[in-house]
Amino acid sequence: MTMPATSLVETQPGRESLVGPDSSLAFAVAGLRVEMHSAPGGPPLAAPSTLEAFAAGACPAGIELSVHWADEIPAPAGPAVFDSGGVWTLHRRESGYEFAFRSPAWGDTPYKLARMDENFRRGQVWLSRRVFGARPGVYPLEYPLDELLVIHRLSRGEGVEVHGCGVVDARGRGLLFTGHSGAGKSTLARLWAASAGVCILSDDRIILRRGVEGNVSMHGTPWHGEARLALPLAVPLCGVYVLEHGRAGNEIERLAPGQAAAELMSRSFLPFHDAAGLGFSLQFFAGVVGEVPCNIFRFLPDGSAVREIEGHV
């Protein structure tokens, strides 16, 4: 596939091996390099196959972590500021935050703890030797911690992660199809993937950031959906489509800026516990909807949906 050089770029130039000889691990998402180094006597590090395409090269460091064993991880001392209702909670510390991970299978004490500074730039990850010690290699940021760290770092004035499918069409235009679970993102991704000259940045998670020229850029992430499509590429954003299921046919309806911003906010991964992070996200989306056309897209799950968008962009 040939794409315009100014439209589609690798966000991790100079890719290298994920696992280095010094028991280190690095990957990059949307230009943010995440580095992990095992402390002396610490866990052997390994990466899941989903990160192979996102191996980091020359990107500047974004998040730096040291990884440690712990025979027992104490409960966080700070107050809980967010409870996911699942395996993780977020706690406030005097000089930062702690993510605590628990499971009924391992009792009441955390099996993993990530302690981060105020800006989510540096931290330590502690792993229970009882839970992880028998593994030949450990990925310390096992989902969802890797995504959580990136989301919180982005909220410090750098970007927003959106629940969406990112498509680069045959003319190099970046199109974001955003929707809640079940809206049809993976279905639409498969339909676009069957078209010549098209690539899918992700069928479920897309990061939006300001590019070097000030435009809004759309970045692929490794956190894919059912279609399992993910690429470490970036492209200027040309159009936003909020997905709904169609009934009689395909229909596109232009959104007013205020409504478009609200639709994007409700389909994004935001730090709801943090007023400053929410304020930045709202301001960021206000800029996006002022620059990029935003629409409701009611679509049928067949090739006509792709043709409808091609004729509309």
pLDDT in tens, 18-34: 443 358 999 999 999 99
- What's residue 252's pLDDT? 97
Dihedral of CA 126/132/135/138: which sign?
negative
- What's residue 212's pLDDT? 79
Domain ranges of the chain: 9-154, 160-312
- What's residue 162's pLDDT? 98
For the chain, percent of residues with pLDDT exceeding 90: 84
Can you tell me the distance from the alpha carbon of 138 to that of 44, in angstroms, rounded to the nearest whole number?
6
Going by pLDDT thresholds of 50, 70 and 90, the confidence category of residue 6 is very low
**Which of residues 213 and 194 earns the better pLDDT score?**
194
pLDDT of 203 higher than 90 = yes
The 10s digit of each residue's pLDDT in 226-268 is 999 999 999 999 999 999 999 889 999 999 999 999 999 999 9
pLDDT of 12 higher than 90 = no
Q: Tell me the pLDDT of the chain averaged across its residues.
A: 91
Q: Is 126 helix (H, G, I), strand (E, B) or coil?
A: strand
Q: Are 271 and 277 in contact (CB under 8 A)?
A: yes
What is the average per-residue pLDDT within 88-97?
Answer: 95
Name the class of domain 160-312.
Answer: alpha beta
pTM recorded for the entire structure: 0.92
- What's residue 313's pLDDT? 84
